[in-house]
Amino acid sequence: MPGNEVTNSIRRLRFDNGEMTQQELAERVGVTRQTIIAIESGKYMPSLPLAFKLARAFGKGVEEVFSFEDGRPQSPEKEAVGA
């Protein structure tokens, strides 16, 4: 769907975590180095289970590693009832 973009911060997180190599990350999550390269470059979208494994490898939540932009403004948080 045009306008939908998923980005990730895997490369930055690797360097923030002791300059972890692509190979080290791949071994931690059970994929090939080529898969990590493709994910970092945005050429491949990981499955949801792999996204969770990647996030856990850095001690982060999925939304701290992956971002989704669909061109729509974010909806405001709902106010608490009775507040």
Query: By three-state DSSP, how is residue 13 classified?
Result: helix
In a domain, 11, yes or no: yes
- pLDDT for 34 equals 98
Question: What is the pLDDT averaged over residues 20-43?
Answer: 97
**Among the ranges given (1-5, 16-20, 37-41, 47-51), the one the predictor scored with the smallest mean pLDDT:** 1-5
Number of domains comprising the chain: 1
pTM: 0.79
In a domain, 31, yes or no: yes
In a domain, 77, yes or no: no
Tokens of 21: 């190599």
Largest CA distance in the chain: 53
